């Protein structure tokens, strides 16, 4: 009986070999197939031609996706309407009547001014007169803006001045005519 027991539990070298092969072979084949697959994918990605290492080409290759363009808007002057100029600059004195400025909309105060004529008022506004500073104190205002602002103010005081047209502005982008 003890002999039988020994026989039954004894594994032959052949059994060991087949067990080892049976356990190792399938994963080994799987690993080999995966490695082959990865190599194939890598080969399909790398181009046949060697990578161009010219600095310019490399720069182009690694340059950021977005380009930053800085536009200097301070160099672009867009003429405001008479009303816009008035609200930005002239209103400071011409609404409260500061320093004796003719008050906006006050016909009695504007009548004698208007009598001088549009061109005279424009030139006084551009160059200044007594307490009225040249261009209302804002040298950035263009002649057109001054003319528009003068017409806007004088017309509110009873005049009927027509401001000069914007110089050769395309109809589509022309600023709305100043009042
Ligand atoms: C710092 C205050 C001040 C500002 C800002 C100002 N004005 Fe005057 N303005 C005056 C005063 C004061 C007078 C009256 C001057 C006088 O006749 O003694 C005047 C008068 C005028 C007159 C009448 C001139 C005349 O010959 O009778 C015009 C036109 C005028 N201003 C236009 C403008 C315009 C256009 C602006 C804005 C771009 C402006 N002013 C901004 C103070 C100002």
Render each residue's pLDDT in the chain as its tens digit; 179 residues: 555 555 666 788 888 888 888 888 889 999 999 999 999 988 887 666 677 888 888 888 888 777 777 777 677 788 999 999 999 999 999 999 999 999 999 999 999 999 999 999 999 999 999 999 999 999 999 999 999 999 999 999 999 999 998 876 554 444 555 45
Alpha helices in the chain (DSSP H): 2-9, 13-45, 55-62, 82-85, 91-94, 107-115, 118-127, 143-156
**Which superfamily does CATH assign the domain made up of 76-156 to?**
Cytochrome c-like domain (1.10.760.10)
In this structure, the residue with its CA closest to atom 30 of ligand 1 is 125
Q: For position 44, what pLDDT does the model report?
A: 81
Q: For position 8, what pLDDT does the model report?
A: 64
Cβ atoms of residues 90 and 149 within 8 Å: yes
CB of 142 shorter than 6 A to ligand 1: no
Cβ atoms of residues 124 and 132 within 8 Å: yes
Q: For position 174, what pLDDT does the model report?
A: 47
Ligand 1 pocket mutation pick from 125, 133, 144, 161 by most atoms within 8 angstroms of CB: 125
In this structure, the residue with its CA closest to atom 15 of ligand 1 is 132
CB of 156 shorter than 6 A to ligand 1: no
CB of 122 shorter than 6 A to ligand 1: no
Cα-to-centroid distance, 133 and ligand 1 (Å): 7
CB of 151 shorter than 6 A to ligand 1: no
Q: Report the candidate in 42, 19, 39 with the shortest Cα–Cα distance to residue 31.
A: 39
All residues at 6 or more sequence positions from 152 whose CB lies less than 8 Å from its CB, including other chains: 81, 82, 83, 85, 86, 163, 178, 179
Atom of ligand 1 nearest to the CA of 145: 38
In this structure, the residue with its CA closest to atom 37 of ligand 1 is 90
**pTM summary value:** 0.63
All residues at 6 or more sequence positions from 134 whose CB lies less than 8 Å from its CB, including other chains: 126, 127, 128
Give the span between the Cα atoms of 23 and 51, in whole angstroms: 44
> At 47, is the secondary structure helix, strand, or coil?
coil
20 vs 12, 23, 90, CA distance in Å?
A: 13, 5, 99
User: b/e string for 54-81 if b means 16 or more Cβ within 10 A?
Assistant: eeeeeeeeeeeeeeeeeeeeeeeeebbb
């Amino acid at each position: 009986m003890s002999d039988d027991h020994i026989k039954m539990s004894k594994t032959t070298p052949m059994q060991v070999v087949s067990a080892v092969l049976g356990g190792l072979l399938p994963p080994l084949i799987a690993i080999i197939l995966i490695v082959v697959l990865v190599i194939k994918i890598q080969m399909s990605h790398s181009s046949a031609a060697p990578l161009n290492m010219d600095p310019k080409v490399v720069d182009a290759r690694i340059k950021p996706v977005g380009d930053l363009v800085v536009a200097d808007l301070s160099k672009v002057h867009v003429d405001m309407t008479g009303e816009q100029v008035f609200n930005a600059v002239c209103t400071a004195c011409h609404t409260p009547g500061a320093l004796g400025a003719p008050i906006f909309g006050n016909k009695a105060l504007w009548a004698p001014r208007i009598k001088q004529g549009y061109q005279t008022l424009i030139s006084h506004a551009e160059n200044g007169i007594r307490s009225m500073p040249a261009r209302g104190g804002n040298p950035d205002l263009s002649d057109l803006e001054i003319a528009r602002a003068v017409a806007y103010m004088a017309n509110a005081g009873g005049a009927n001045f027509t401001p000069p047209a914007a110089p050769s502005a395309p109809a589509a982008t022309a600023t709305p005519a100043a009042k």
